[in-house]
Amino acid sequence: MPIDDYFQEYGPIRRRRTQNPSVRDDGEPPEEPPRPRRPQRRRATRRRQPGWVSLALILGLCLLAPFTLPYALHLVYRDVALPGVSVQGVSVSGLSVEAITVELRRRYADFLSQPVTLAYAGQAWHPGLADLGLTFDTTDLAHQAVAAGRRGDPLTRLGEIWQIVRGDLNLTPRIVVDQRALQAYLLSIASEIERPPQDAALSIAAAKVVGIPSTPGTQLLIDATANDVLLAAQSLQSQDISIRTRALPPLVGDSALVHAQARATALLQSPIELMRGDQHWIWPPEKLAELLRVEAKGDTLDVRVDDDLLAHSVEGLAQLVDSGTAEPRLRFSGGKVRIIQPGLPGWRLRQDEAAAAIRTLLMSTVATTRTLTLPVDQLKPQISEATLGGLGISDLVGEGQSSFAGSAQYRITNIKAGAARMDGVLIAPGEEFSFNRQLGEVDAENGFVEGYAIIGNRTQLEWGGGVCQDSTTVFRAAFWAGLPITERHAHAFYISWYDRFGLGAQGNGQGMDAAIYTGVNDLKFVNDTGHWLLMQADVDQVNQVLSIRLYGTRPDREVRLEGPTVSNEVRAPSEPVYVNDPSLPAGALRQTDTARSGRDITVERVIVQHGAEVRRDSFYTHFRAWPNIFVRGTGNE
């Protein structure tokens, strides 16, 4: 209770009044009549709120802000980029997807049309983005710019908005790379850049030794160049890029070339002289050069002798050295054999030994002429009058015929000379007969004359023109005897006069000729009858027919011919060929060859024993189409 109220209720004045209510204190104001007391209003008091309510309210607003602010911004900036969004440092705020796309394409127009220019050694390539396997989607980037601050969960959106407010939201364009496509493009241009290294080489021709220096190769570095392209593409600016390459060193360098060139030059500084008795042959450096070969061995060049070519050359030499069979010449008539020319000692070159000796001599470096006495065997006759009966020569084993009707006189002369070299010749059992070896040297001493022949594309005088008539006829005799033919060459073009008697008893036909060229092409066959064979030649000058007969013991077999089969026929060239001949006066013109068609011919020989086929041989002929050839005089021009 307040102090004032207390004294009013319990003080001395109140006590006196209580004890004597009529007594008034002096000086006490007269007592007022009691006024009616108004009912005391109770003052309403405000109930104070606790502090945690305000805190909760603030926290609620903070929690709602991430949810409401992005959506509010989305409503305000619908379909355009929010303020503060930039692409590679350039603001795109307030722009729509379409507008941003247009702006991006304008800004990166050079890159989009020509991202890079690849250059190498003055060459340039201008691939497009698709060629390089690169994809730059400006529309997708525009969508990303507009979606900034609106994607993801609320916190993600708020985070992006915070970046936008701070100015940190700068979108970086993204290049999508197809590595396979990029490498495929670089591989496609590699063929225009790359080149293999060229080893040093040595050429030997006509006794001249010519060196060809080495050159390094070039390889395109695919991965390194691809990395350069990708780095350049990140800038989104059109750039020039130098293609990365590396040099490929040659295996055989110039030092090896210098050594081999000196070696080859030394080997060809002098000729080789070959001797047999009073005969001798010179192989000049030009001939020796044909026998040398240069091969790379590791990082060096090896100068060596080509053994196959040397063997072929020695075989040709043997045809000059060998004096033919040393056996007597025989004649079969009336069922009896008689000697028409006694046997003489002969010579035969030991070819393998000669080739080895020539190889050794050729690989020696001697400034003066190198000489070799050829190794030969002296042949003594095995046949005499006393042994004729044991030769087994009693039957006609095989026969060939050919016509030389219409031949020039020089040709007939050579046919007769060749037939004389074949007549009466004995072929031992198991022996391989060589037409060229038996023919010997084709010269005047052996009865041959010169005649015109087309060699390559030129006409020139050749010894023995027409001897192929003899080789063709010998081939036919061996064919019908069933003897294994080990070497035979057809003529280059069709010759009509060889058709007559071509198929033996079956009549005329083509594909049964045999061309020879001394020292190059030969005719060979093997006597597989088990007995001696006698070759007999007859020249019928009246009917102009050459006959070759093989006598011996007839084997128990039958020879059949199938064909000829003709295919791949080609018309003769319409344009004539003119061959200049300085030996003829200017203006002179004569035709040496008539045009003829080309074709392929196959003849099958079937060997039958006791009714069963035991062997089949195919003889193939390719005749080239041949033009009209004229010899044109150019003398005194």
pLDDT tens, 391-422?
A: 999 999 999 999 999 888 999 999 999 999 99
The secondary structure of residue 387, as a DSSP letter, is: G
pLDDT at 553: 96
- Run of H or E residues at 279: strand 279-283
pTM over 0.85: no
Let me know if residue 337 belongs to a domain.
no
Residue 480 has pLDDT above 90, yes or no: yes
Same domain, 229 and 270: no
Residue 283 has pLDDT above 80, yes or no: yes
88 versus 308: which is more confidently predicted?
Answer: 308
Same domain, 364 and 503: no
pLDDT at 140: 85
Q: What is the mean pLDDT of residues 360-387?
A: 89
Q: Which of 119, 129, 118, 223 is nearest to 173 (CA)?
A: 129
Distances (CA, A) of 255 to 96, 200, 493: 72, 9, 49
The secondary structure of residue 251, as a DSSP letter, is: S
How many CA atoms are closer than 13 Å to the CA of 593, on its beta-carbon side?
A: 27
Let me know if residue 137 belongs to a domain.
yes
Winning range, highest mean pLDDT, from 163-172, 425-434, 441-450: 425-434
E strands, 315-424, where? 329-333, 336-341, 346-349, 370-373, 376-379, 395-403
pLDDT at 2: 47
Q: Which of 358, 210, 340 is nearest to 291 (CA)?
A: 358
pLDDT at 362: 92
Same domain, 245 and 255: no
Same domain, 175 and 255: no
Handedness of CA 205, 206, 211, 215 (dihedral sign): negative
Flag the least confident range among 390-404, 524-538, 552-566, 585-599.
585-599
Task: Scan for tokens 């241009």, then name that residue.
Answer: 189
Same domain, 551 and 578: yes
Structure tokens at 305: 């002798």
Let me know if residue 172 belongs to a domain.
yes
The CATH number for 321's domain is 3.10.20.800
Rounded to whole angstroms, the Cα distance separating 69 from 56 reads 20
Structure tokens at 13: 């004045």
Residues 6+ away with beta carbon under 8 Å from 4: none
Task: Scan for tokens 């990303």, then name that residue.
Answer: 144
Res. 594 pLDDT band, cuts 50 70 90: confident
Same domain, 425 and 463: yes
Flag the least confident range among 152-166, 564-578, 595-609.
152-166
Q: Is the peptide bond before 564 cis (omega within 30 degrees of 0)?
A: yes
Let me know if residue 6 belongs to a domain.
no
**Count of structural domains within the chain:** 3
Asked if residue 476 lies in contact with residue 504, where contact means CB atoms within 8 angstroms, the answer is yes
E strands, 156-258, where? 170-171, 176-177, 201-205, 208-212, 217-220, 239-242, 245-248
Task: Scan for tokens 């930039």, then name that residue.
Answer: 86
Same domain, 492 and 518: yes
Let me know if residue 174 belongs to a domain.
yes
Let me know if residue 591 belongs to a domain.
yes
Same domain, 484 and 596: yes
Same domain, 359 and 454: no
Helices 12-19, 3-10: inter-axial angle, 10-degree rounding: 30
Mapped onto helix, strand or coil, the DSSP state of residue 47 is coil
Let me know if residue 26 belongs to a domain.
no
Same domain, 593 and 468: yes
pLDDT at 7: 47
Q: What is the mean pLDDT of residues 575-586?
A: 86
Flag the least confident range among 336-340, 343-347, 539-543.
343-347
Same domain, 404 and 319: no
Q: How many residues does the chain have?
A: 637
> Which structural domain range is residue 567 located in?
392-635
Asked if residue 131 lies in contact with residue 188, where contact means CB atoms within 8 angstroms, the answer is no
**Phi/psi of residue 392, nearest 5 degrees:** 75, 25
Res. 459 pLDDT band, cuts 50 70 90: very low
Asked if residue 257 lies in contact with residue 296, where contact means CB atoms within 8 angstroms, the answer is no
Res. 94 pLDDT band, cuts 50 70 90: confident
Let me know if residue 433 belongs to a domain.
yes
Q: What does pLDDT average to over the chain? A: 85
Same domain, 228 and 365: no
